[in-house]
Amino acid sequence: MSEYLKKSERDSLLPAIMRHVIRYLVIPYFRVSFFNLDEVRKLERPYLVLPNHSGFFDPFFINAPISQKFHYVVSDTQFRSPVMRYLLGMTGAIPITKNTNDLKSLKKMTDASRAGQIVGIFPEGLRNWDGETLPIIESTAKLVRMFNVPVVVPLLEGAYLMDPRWGRTLRRGKVVITYKILFGGQKPGRLKIDDIVREIKEALEHSEFESEVLRGVKFKGRKRAEKIEQIVYICPECHAISSFRSKGNDFSCGACGYSVHYTEEGRFRSPSGKDYFDNMALWNKWQKKEVVKILLKDHGDEPVFSDCNLIHSMPDEKGRFIKRGKGCLYFYKDKIEYRDGSGYLYIYELEGITGMNVQLHERLEFFYEKELHRFHSREKIFSARKVNDFYESSLNL
């Protein structure tokens, strides 16, 4: 057993305590229920756990009714805080650097599996933003075949409506977790990658807004719509970009006044205007198509959009993010410019940007010339997701 796993096994008190707190306090409060647990408890270790990912509590909910500790693969950005690094290390989490070929992470996963441990991987690669399962990353299927151990897929329903990625508060409603054992409980080492991907996709395919078990369930909360501008960034009424502001259970466009009420069922209802979209998934699909239309227009020398009051940070030699300035980000068809308060101008050619992603809620991160840059707002209303969507669409045009 590797030193990593020896330490993980020694530090077993904290995860045990956490599971008890989650099991006896958090789970009853949020009305979490489980199905097919007995089948999972009969499985012999090692095995893989491949859940969908909607909320912060997903890994804790999934592991709580199982006595053995899960070694979840977690983005290395979560380890940057000393406190989180300590807690995640105690719980056996395995750090991985996104958008790279992380061989150290692969070795730790392999060590854990060979030592008879349970490894947890999120096949979507990140938390979804709109309540629908994201495409499955093919590399997950390759890991499934390489490890050649039984596979458990916990499907969470209600986790997004309880804790949307963009949300400011938790909502009390109902969460259902159904554990599915793939491939008849057999080892999948000889299966084709396409067949493994298909099985995982079918097991995880889910929409919060089409789920029968969530029909009519109300998710209570006083600030259900707050910070929704992190994901809703195009107005369907006037097509303005980043014009919405949220308060309480409502959000409205500052350009045209179009307003929307976010219901306890997670639906959109306009108090006075047209209901363009019933839910977040439909709105998100529409605005992604609008992004392409916007990029195809002639913007001349003007930016497609801009965001101000953004803090620019870069990591020091110890990985601690240091503030470099505060200013405005301008997105063009072929570049991103950032001008800070002192007038200093950064220019990032889109073709030179790598590893762009959104960390936590609204922290935009990417590499440029091998240096990591981060942008975020103190008000937490900056839509880093918007920048990421326009960036990806620009590269595909």
The DSSP-derived string for 275-344 is: ---SSHHHHHHHHHHHHHHHHHS--TTS-SEEEEEEEEEEE-TTS-EEEEEEEEEEE-SSEEEEEETT--
Can you give the pLDDT at residue 264?
98
The tokens for 22 are: 């989650």
Task: List Cβ neighbours of 137 (8 Å cut-off, separation of 6 or more).
Answer: 123, 124, 125
Q: How far apart are CA 336 and CA 349, in angstroms?
A: 6
State the pLDDT at residue 95.
78
Does this model's pTM top 0.85? My answer is yes
pLDDT at 103: 77
Question: In sequence order, which residues have a C-beta less than 8 Å from that of residue 186 and are 6 or more positions away?
Answer: 150
Q: Delimit the domains of the chain by residue range.
A: 3-204, 228-296, 305-396
Distance CA 5, CA 19 (A): 19
Q: Is 244 exposed, middle or buried (0-12, 13-18, 19+ CB in 10 A)?
A: buried
DSSP letter for each residue of 191-209: S-HHHHHHHHHHHH--BTT
Long-range Cβ contacts of 13-22 (<8 Å, 24+ apart): 14/87, 14/90, 14/91, 15/63, 15/69, 15/90, 15/91, 15/92, 16/69, 18/60, 18/91, 19/60, 19/63, 19/64, 22/57, 22/60, 22/61, 22/63, 22/64
Mean pLDDT rounded to a whole number for the chain? 91
Class of domain 3-204: alpha beta
Q: In this predicted structure, what is the pLDDT of residue 97?
A: 67
Instruction: Report pLDDT for 11.
Output: 47
Residue type, 1: M
In the DSSP assignment, the letter for residue 234 is B
Report the candidate in 113, 121, 143, 26 with the shortest Cα–Cα distance to residue 74.
121
C-beta of residue 156 within 8 angstroms of C-beta of residue 62:
yes
359: nearest Cα among 127, 130, 140: 127
CATH topology for 305-396 is PH-domain like (2.30.29)
Q: By the 8 A CB rule, do 57 and 163 touch?
A: yes
Strands of the 244-247 sheet, one edge to the other: 244-247, 250-253, 259-262, 268-269
> Is residue 158 left, alpha or beta, with left meaning phi > 0 and alpha meaning psi from -120 to 50?
left
Q: Which amino acid is at 31?
A: R
Q: Give residue 91's pLDDT.
A: 67
Count CB neighbours of 123 within 10 A.
Answer: 26
Along the 397 residues of the chain, how does pLDDT read in single tens digits? 455 444 544 446 776 787 788 899 999 999 999 999 999 999 999 999 999 999 889 988 999 899 888 898 887 766 666 666 666 666 678 877 665 556 777 888 888 899 999 999 999 988 999 999 999 998 899 999 999 999 999 999 999 999 999 999 999 999 999 999 999 888 899 999 999 999 999 999 999 999 999 999 999 999 999 999 999 999 999 999 999 999 999 999 999 999 999 999 999 999 988 999 999 999 999 999 999 999 999 999 999 999 999 999 999 988 889 999 999 999 999 999 999 999 999 999 999 999 899 987 889 999 999 999 999 999 889 999 999 999 999 999 8
Is there a contact between 240 and 253 (Cβ–Cβ < 8 Å)?
yes
